[in-house]
Structure 1
Amino acid sequence: MSDAGRGRTVQALDLDTNYHDQGTGAPVVLLHGSGPGVSAWTNWKRVIPVLADEFRVIAPDMAGFGYTERRADLAYDMKLWVKHLIGILDALGIGKASLIGNSFGGSLSLAAAARFPDRFERIVLMGTPCDKFAMTPGLRAGWDYTPSRDAMRQAMVHFPYDPAFITPELVEDRYQASLIPGAQEGLRKLLAKPAEEGETILSGIPESVVAGIEHPTLVLHGREDRVIPVEMGIRLARAMPHADLHMFGKCGHWVQAERFDPFVELARKHLRGGA
């Protein structure tokens, strides 16, 4: 099993927390999504060095993911992840940071900004749900996954618009991450169990909550996202008082991979304050 995703370790919420830390500018925390083989490294390894030429970029494995310590006594929910995120900032001596959240990481960004508004500056959301929506086949695939390279490739077909983005390297990276002891068992604890019949209704951060988040926010969403429908991004942008929306055509759930250059350009501009 590859250890490519191992970075540094910090104690946060009494967990040995794996994180990556590059650059020396204003702090920006990259929050990964969920799903089989997801970690800070598999989500962000191309983005970290590019943004680190201007910002201090911190990408942690949140509780229950990647190489961060797993504990059987923890109940994984958004309250825990928010506490873990604040614990990471405290342990690193960061009073205030901006956030880039991918999917689950976007929901965590919203929950943290709503609960601790003074700890955050600006927000970038990618493929982020809002309020209630039906479980998609892409999310269902995370529950059904059993570790193998073929199964990983099949689980990933729902994510990009262009299947060429599912490279052998990406499959291998995420397959290896899915072999971390406890990873898939932990993922099933984090995900909602699909209903045996009919739709499974999932909940993002309620619209009434996001409507009270005052942070300048950039909402990015792929028009052809089959994991978190684009209507979620539109709903977020309408509800948040200081949000701009950029919809990418011919793009699925992996904005940072499928539209890497414009993603970096838009994120930089937003994080600088729109200058």
Structure 2
Amino acid sequence: MSTTATARTERRVQVGRRELFVTEAGAGAPVVLLHGGGPGATGASNYARNLDALAERFRVIVPDLPGYGASSKDIDFSDPFGDLALAVRGLLDALDVERAHLVGNSYGGAAALRLALDRPDRVDRMILMGPGGIGTTRGLPTAGLSCLLGYYGGDGPSREKIETFIRDYLVHDASSVPDELIDLRYAASIQPEVVASPPLRRPSGPAALRTLWRMDLTRDPRLARCEVPTLVVWGADDKVNRPSGGPRLASTMKDCDLYLMANTGHWAQWERADQFNDLAVSYLRGEQ
């Protein structure tokens, strides 16, 4: 798919107790792109290779999720995926969007899926790339997830640590990530508010077990009843969220297709951008 740069608008939108920073482009059926939860993630950087292609056919809405980028840093850590779903639904309300397609990577994929479980009437079609919350209480964390969760621990954040996470765990081909992106992510990851209260952390305290169970969406009985048409895209070399989550979703959900990308890590929409963009446009338009 050939693309040209589209005009974008950026603004802060009041959503309940928080402000969300939102980038928009294009016109047509609304598509909300929800980014992952790695250190320094933002909506625009997560979807830098996808936004223009999708904006040729859709109204594309790209928020910085709570805790990230230029959005408010307030998160309910007792039920993070539920809180993210609430924030996305509030954003739809604030933008007068009744129903939207959702595209979610990792942490954003978990937010999209939780919204589809909570309010399926607000979701048209959904694409999930290596989503979080799939079997998270079954076995030890992956090496990539451990690296992510340990970023703010020990000696604290550093450019070396974020480069290791991105190049060793986020993608299959380390050379596909330019130094400029790592610099951008590092700068975003060391905002004082973020360092003081990292948005993605290991649950702790007396309610930790309950939080972990809430964050494993495969334990939610509504998953088997969810009728939102869903495309799951997973990199076969994903070192953050196990690719085995793809078949689990496909065998559980009522209307779920699975697309496994060879030689691809956790960031499928970045590493296989052209293929992903074609696939996404086709699926969201109901052509497959």
Show the 5 A alignment for 1:107-256. Answer: 107-129=110-132, 130-131=134-135, 132-133=137-138, 134-145=140-151, 146-156=156-166, 157-187=168-198, 190-192=200-202, 203-207=215-219, 208-256=221-269
What's the counterpart of residue 40 of structure 1?
43
d(CA) in 2 for partners of 1:209, 1:255: 27
Deviates more, 1:125-134 or 1:262-271: 125-134
> TM-score normalised to the size of structure 1?
0.89
What letter matches 1:58 in structure 2? I
How big is each residue's C-alpha offset from its partner over 1:233-263, in whole Å with a ceiling of 9 and x where there is no partner? 1111111111111100111101001111110
Name the SS for the 2:225 alignment partner: coil
Query: How do 1:5-84 residues align onto structure 2 when only pairs under 5 Å count?
Result: 7-71=10-74, 77-84=80-87
Partner of 1:198: none
Instruction: Give the alignment's Cα RMSD to 1 decimal.
Output: 2.1
Q: Is the 8 A contact 1:220 1:245 kept in 2?
A: yes
For residues 224 and 264 of structure 1, what CA distance do their matches in structure 2 show? 20
In the alignment, structure 2 segments of 5+ residues that lack a partner are: 1-8, 205-211
Letter in 2 for 1:263: F
Which residue of structure 2 lines up, in the alignment, with residue 197 of structure 1?
A: none
Q: Secondary structure at the match of 1:230?
A: coil
Amino acid at match of 1:192: R
Q: Which amino acid aligns with 1:211?
A: A
1:221 and 1:73, CA in 2 relative to 1: closer, same or farther beyond 3 A? closer
| Residues 238 and 91 (structure 1), Cα distance of their counterparts in 2 relative to 1, 3 Å cut | same
1:224–1:251 CA contact under 8 A, matched in 2 = yes
Contact 2:75 2:83 in 1 (8 A): no
2:100 pairs, out of 97, 100, 107, with 97
Deviates more, 1:206-215 or 1:149-158: 206-215
Q: Deviations over 1:39-67 (max 9, x none)?
A: 11221122112211110000111111221
The separation in 1 between residues aligned to 2:273 and 2:169, in whole angstroms, is 19
CA contact (8 A) 1:15 1:69 kept: yes
Give unpaired runs (5+ residues) of structure 1: 1-5, 195-200
